[in-house]
Amino acid sequence: MTLNSTWIRLGLEIWLGLKIGSVLVYEEICTQLKSYVCLGEAAMENHVTQISREDLEDLREAFNKIDIDNSGYVSDFELQELFREASFSLPGYKVREIIETFIAGDTNKDEKISFDEFVSIYQELKSKEFSETFRKTITRRDGIRSFGGTSGISSEGTQHSYADEEKVAFVNWINKALAKDPDCQHLLPMNPRDESLFTSVRDGILLCKMINLSQPDTIDERVINTKKLTTFKMTENLVLALNSASAIGCTVVSIDAHDLMAGKPHLVLGLLWQIIKVGLFADIEISRNEGLISLLIAGEQLDHLMSMSPEELLLRWVNYHLRNAGTQTINNFSDDIKDSRAYFYLLDQIAPQGEHDYRMSVKIDMSGLNERDLDRRAELMLQQAARLDCRQFVSPRDVTSGNSKLNLAFVANLFNMHPALQRAQINSNGIETTHIEAETKEEKTFRNWINSLGVSPYVNHLYCDLCDGLVILQLYEKVNVPVNWKKVNNPPYPVLGANMKKLENCNYAVELGRDVAHFSLVGIGGENLNEGSRTHTLALVWQLMRRYTVLVLSDLGDGERVGDQIILSWVNTTLSQKRKDTQINSFKDKLISTSLPVIDLIDAIAPGTVKWDMVKRAERRMLTDADKLNNAKYAISLARKIGARVYALPDDLVEVNPKMVLTLFACLMGHGLKKANR
Ligand SMILES: *[C@@H]1O[C@H](CO)[C@@H](O)[C@H](O)[C@H]1NC(C)=O
Ligand SMILES: *[C@@H]1O[C@H](CO)[C@@H](O)[C@H](O)[C@H]1NC(C)=O
Ligand SMILES: *[C@@H]1O[C@H](CO)[C@@H](O)[C@H](O)[C@H]1NC(C)=O
């Protein structure tokens, strides 16, 4: 082997020797490593790029991640993944070349790669062709990268910073989640150390895929542009992504396709976090995971548990396992997890026991608890998490610094992968699981609409989260109904009489609806909202959403109030002008279940968007249910792609849900008028 790898080997032998001896503390090892690096550098007369201590730590981290059984070796076929983990992605053919070279020169012919062999391969590659590009970016010590100083950002006089650790976490997550997606091969794997995330989002494909992953079937993949990506086609994808993100409840009010095209880091990361969170939290809900009932504490009502947010449930879940382990519980995912203690016990509790197959069982190595250096301890803990395939979102530093966002994501992923909640315990709590009602589609659509407008706090449960009136009052403002905030009681509410304060807000909300917005609120009082009554809350929220949807139409028109009839005749006129024969009588017209009027309308507004071979036409009203659903998915994704912010779901078209059908047509009309006005 070459001189440099000899030096590396020597250095690593020192290191590994120390490691095996386990007598020296981490700092001493680092000092040793530093001197070895200097030594090597001098001896090589700077011909070779030096491997910094940081790089070595990264390599070690990558190696440990792949070497899940801690054997000290990885197999040659895992090499590609190893490089990927080391943020040094190589095309497959390159890796095969390396492996061949390696096997040819492998002295011990075991076809296994030890850490030092890996480092020398890495070192050779790096010094050859990649030294230029690797690790160009400089991370400030606090981990915050700042940018600006050029282009539009500085001209606005603002400089945004973003958290580098979030970028690293999201890139690793996306790399893993989409690794096998054939449409993402031109983008993946991204290097978490550089800025490639911000350029990779430009064509919109990545975002569309992540949305569809978080909420399956949100985007019809036939609508994503994947070939011959011009700026126009990329913009279409981005518009599709943004409108779909808002349909799953992400707040996208201050971000547009240009921002994404420009790869503005704080906006990209903000959007991605929302999208990832939707996916992570999707199953942290009692109707989706009845095992959560075992988290009830003595004397607690199921309703209370059901009204908890995913964050609160996760905390409950962690503490449930910590109690079972007989150890101290935690109050947050920041200060309380910094020492990795809770995580060690949690991992130990949730690790698969392999009841049916002992080979599936994982025994967590708890010895890391004795490590005194917290960063090192966090690393040991994460190595155990890796054995559960859950080393995600956090680095040791994110643990020891108590980054609550990333730690929340880490825990959510642990929950999704290994909830370790016994269904049997449900009965011992005496709860009839049949009483657990899942959120209806309509409720979910309303909730997504509300959240997409950026209300605070985030609405997890339509009824209980609206019962203090505050979110409803914020919605009034979004639909141009002025709210006198002096009349509103804000939290924190006093311990005594809290509900009175909330009720006052609800009364005010009903008053505004009746007197200012002229909603029809017959028989609805503030107390109904306060109690979380379904029908009453739905009636008010629907009128808010309707007003929101048609507002854009009166802005575009001459300000007249837009009734159903105006939208209907616009639909009919537009269709007949383009010689389409799909007219509708009302928003209940059975023809709507075929989605053909919608698709025709889209073709009328944005000619050339519809690929007709995707549309099931056949004998019209004779379409099968599957055909109808197929058309509906296509129609809704198309509508979003041409710029309509549609919240309706495919089922709303198939089942001809007149409310959602109205919003869909109104959105398209708004879009059509806007185009005509341009
Ligand atoms: C979206 O999700 C569905 C269901 O998970 C899947 O069948 C479809 O291929 C996905 N589409 C894209 C664009 O990823
Ligand atoms: C987390 O909880 C602990 C108590 O368990 C408390 O001392 C600490 O201040 C909390 N940290 C945050 C950021 O809320
Ligand atoms: C729309 O067209 C249908 C069929 O041509 C007709 O029956 C209906 O009255 C029209 N509705 C409106 C509002 O124009």
Residue 361's pLDDT band (cuts 50, 70, 90): confident
The 10s digit of each residue's pLDDT in 251-283 is 998 899 999 999 999 999 999 999 999 999 999
Q: What is the largest CA-CA distance in the chain?
A: 87
- Pocket test of ligand 1: the residue of 183, 212, 223 to mutate, having most ligand atoms within 8 Å of its CB, is 212
Residue 275, both tokens: 């999208």
Number of neighbouring beta carbons within 10 Å of residue 366: 14
Strand partners, 162: 145
Note the pLDDT of residue 481: 93
CA distance 268 to 255: 9
Residue 116's pLDDT band (cuts 50, 70, 90): confident
CA distance 653 to 591: 10
Beta strand segments in 28-131, E: 73-75, 112-114
Which position has the higher pLDDT, 678 or 391? 391
- Is residue 108's pLDDT more than 80? no
Instruction: Judge contact between 248 and 441, C-beta under 8 A.
Output: no
The residue among 570, 522, 519 whose CA lies nearest residue 545 is 519
**Which phi-psi region, left, alpha or beta, contains residue 238 (left: φ > 0; alpha: ψ -120 to 50)?**
alpha
Residue 101's pLDDT band (cuts 50, 70, 90): low
Mean pLDDT of 246-250: 96
Residue 211's pLDDT band (cuts 50, 70, 90): very high
Residue 91's pLDDT band (cuts 50, 70, 90): low
The 10s digit of each residue's pLDDT in 28-40 is 434 444 443 433 3
Mean pLDDT of 10-37: 40
Nearest bound ligand to the CA of residue 338: 2
Note the pLDDT of residue 48: 43
The 10s digit of each residue's pLDDT in 474-502 is 999 999 999 999 999 988 888 888 999 99
Which position has the higher pLDDT, 678 or 366? 366
Residue 112, φ and ψ in degrees, nearest 5:
-120, 150
The enclosing H or E element of 145 equals strand 144-146
Note the pLDDT of residue 69: 64
Note the pLDDT of residue 99: 66
Note the pLDDT of residue 275: 97
Residue 542, both tokens: 């629907």
The residue among 604, 618, 600 whose CA lies nearest residue 676 is 604
- Is residue 139's pLDDT more than 50? no
- Is residue 132's pLDDT more than 60? no
Instruction: Judge contact between 552 and 672, C-beta under 8 A.
Output: no
Whether residue 583 has its Cβ less than 6 Å from ligand 3: yes
Instruction: Judge contact between 411 and 280, C-beta under 8 A.
Output: no
The residue among 571, 568, 556, 565 whose CA lies nearest residue 602 is 571
- Pocket test of ligand 3: the residue of 565, 568, 571 to mutate, having most ligand atoms within 8 Å of its CB, is 568
Note the pLDDT of residue 151: 31
The 10s digit of each residue's pLDDT in 71-85 is 777 766 666 666 666
- Is residue 42's pLDDT more than 50? no
Q: What is the mean pLDDT of the chain?
A: 82
- Is residue 385's pLDDT more than 50? yes
Residue 556's pLDDT band (cuts 50, 70, 90): low
- Is residue 235's pLDDT more than 70? yes
* Range from 111-115, 423-427, 668-672 that averages highest in pLDDT: 668-672
The 10s digit of each residue's pLDDT in 334-347 is 999 999 999 999 99
Residue 55's pLDDT band (cuts 50, 70, 90): confident
Whether residue 332 has its Cβ less than 6 Å from ligand 2: yes
The 10s digit of each residue's pLDDT in 645-664 is 999 999 999 999 999 999 99
pTM for this prediction? 0.76
Cα 203 to the chain's mean position, in Å?
18
- Pocket test of ligand 2: the residue of 329, 332, 404 to mutate, having most ligand atoms within 8 Å of its CB, is 332
Residue 145, φ and ψ in degrees, nearest 5:
-95, 140
Hey, what's the torsion of the CAs at 663, 664, 668, 674, to 10 degrees?
30
Mapped onto helix, strand or coil, the DSSP state of residue 654 is helix
- Is residue 360's pLDDT more than 60? yes
Number of neighbouring beta carbons within 10 Å of residue 213: 18
- Is residue 162's pLDDT more than 90? no
Distance 332 CA to ligand 2 centre (A): 6
Residue 433, both tokens: 């699981």
CA distance 626 to 250: 29
Instruction: Judge contact between 651 and 584, C-beta under 8 A.
Output: no
Mean pLDDT of 169-198: 95
Number of neighbouring beta carbons within 10 Å of residue 516: 13
Whether residue 212 has its Cβ less than 6 Å from ligand 1: yes
Number of neighbouring beta carbons within 10 Å of residue 14: 15
CA distance 518 to 511: 10
- Is residue 227's pLDDT more than 80? yes
Which position has the higher pLDDT, 154 or 316? 316
CA distance 175 to 181: 10
Q: Read out DSSP for 570-599?
A: HHHHHHHHTT-----SSTT-GGGGGTHHHH
Burial state string for 314-346 with b = 16 or more CB within 10 A and e = fewer than 16: bbbbbbbbbeeeebeebeebeebbbbbbbbbbb
Residue 393, φ and ψ in degrees, nearest 5:
75, -35
CA distance 36 to 616: 68
Distance 337 CA to ligand 2 centre (A): 10
CA distance 644 to 632: 15
Note the pLDDT of residue 94: 64
- Is residue 433's pLDDT more than 60? no
- Pocket test of ligand 3: the residue of 566, 575, 584 to mutate, having most ligand atoms within 8 Å of its CB, is 584
Q: Write a three-state SS string for 70-86.
A: CCCEEEHHHHHHHHHHC
| Terminal alpha carbon distance of the chain | 68
Q: Which residues contact 634 (CB under 8 A, 6 or more apart)?
A: 220, 222, 223, 595, 599, 614, 615
Strand partners, 181: none
- Is residue 631's pLDDT more than 70? yes
Number of neighbouring beta carbons within 10 Å of residue 557: 17
Note the pLDDT of residue 125: 67
Please state, for a pLDDT cut of 70, what percent of the chain lies above it. Answer: 75
- Is residue 49's pLDDT more than 80? no
Atom 7, ligand 2: residue with shortest CA distance = 335
Whether residue 230 has its Cβ less than 6 Å from ligand 2: no
Distance 469 CA to ligand 1 centre (A): 37
Note the pLDDT of residue 435: 63
Note the pLDDT of residue 557: 62
Note the pLDDT of residue 407: 97
The residue among 8, 95, 96 whose CA lies nearest residue 52 is 8
Note the pLDDT of residue 310: 94
Whether residue 216 has its Cβ less than 6 Å from ligand 1: yes
Note the pLDDT of residue 21: 33
Atom 11, ligand 2: residue with shortest CA distance = 335
Distance 336 CA to ligand 2 centre (A): 6
The 10s digit of each residue's pLDDT in 563-608 is 888 899 999 999 999 888 889 999 999 999 999 999 999 999 999 9
Note the pLDDT of residue 129: 47
Instruction: Judge contact between 76 and 102, C-beta under 8 A.
Output: yes
Cβ-count burial of 128 within 10 angstroms (0-12 exposed, 13-18 middle, 19+ buried)? exposed
- Is residue 210's pLDDT more than 70? yes
Mean pLDDT of 421-427: 60
